[in-house]
Amino acid sequence: MSKERILVVEDQPDISSLLKIYFTSQGYEVFTALRGSVALEICSKTPPNLALLDVNLPDMEGYDIGKALRASPRTRHIPIIFLTARGERADRLRGLGEVQAQYYIIKPFDIEEVHTIVKNQLDEARRKNQLHPVTNLPTADLINEQMRGLLSAQGWAMALLHINGFETFTQSYGAVVSEDVLKFSALLLNEVLNELGSSDDFIGQMIVGPDFVITSSPERLRPIADRLITQFDNEIGAHYNYKHRKQGFIEVMDDNGDLRQMPLMSLSIGVLTSQDGPFYDIRELSETAEETRQRAIQQAREQGRKSFVVYGRVR
């Protein structure tokens, strides 16, 4: 399981260092930012599990960072805790009301008390089954919430992605190395959406299996899907040893004790848009997306391709 990531946004280096040293010693992965713009860049590339925000920053107020996180489907679930010297009632109401932060703590603070609050917030997120334990991407209820919103909307596109050959890779290389593949895939998704998508786009991961969900607009999702299959095919070989990369397959023992040649991992992507609807519930939407993705596997085999994307349902 990956370490939970905490983002510390604090412009005073001594306080920032104290928080980083302390929370790192408690087993967390800690990112720090002295400026709001850096904090937002970190959140767009590798969204944290929780954010500790100061209010007074050189380039913007912590409130603006919090509102930006709440405005994006990819980060609005992140717990926010303010650590600030601004303790007026109006400040607290702004942080708890406008930003919908979980806590507003006034400096000077007791670091062990802060740790208890952080731990409780992360425990609560795990109980709600909100984040994937390896990639920290939204999962379960957050995906369902996103898909439910599509049912009554127009102008949307949704992609269901699966890493083909992931189970075989795990069998050969082990669970620890296979987690690196999931992390690589999550990072790739974030990078491509940061470049070609918008803040309204969403990335989620199913809690079981190497399956991901993207929601976007039709005009954005097509180049996103095309870029993903190109980059995945170009970069996935780095997770194999030299022999497997060179020969283009791995050998595994089947149930009969015979060696079988299995291709390297690839992506299959099925894309639906609002024009493929109407969809009456999220079960129908997810099942239709899976049928579309299965067609991507079939067409890839027929055309001798690796990763492949198919657009639209069969009626």
Token pair for residue 60?
């913007």
Give CATH for domain 5-127: 3.40.50.2300
DSSP-based three-state secondary structure for 4: coil
Query: Model pTM?
Result: 0.84
Q: Which stretches in the chain have pLDDT values below 50?
A: none
The per-residue pLDDT for 140 is 84
The 10s digit of each residue's pLDDT in 171-202 is 899 999 999 999 999 999 999 999 999 989 99
Kindly list the domain boundaries of the chain, sorted by start residue. 5-127, 141-311
Rounded CA separation 41/165 (Å): 33
Token pair for residue 260?
């079988």
DSSP-based three-state secondary structure for 106: strand
Give CATH for domain 141-311: 3.30.70.270
Characterize the bridge pairing of strands 211-216 and 157-164. antiparallel
The per-residue pLDDT for 222 is 95
Rounded CA separation 144/73 (Å): 12
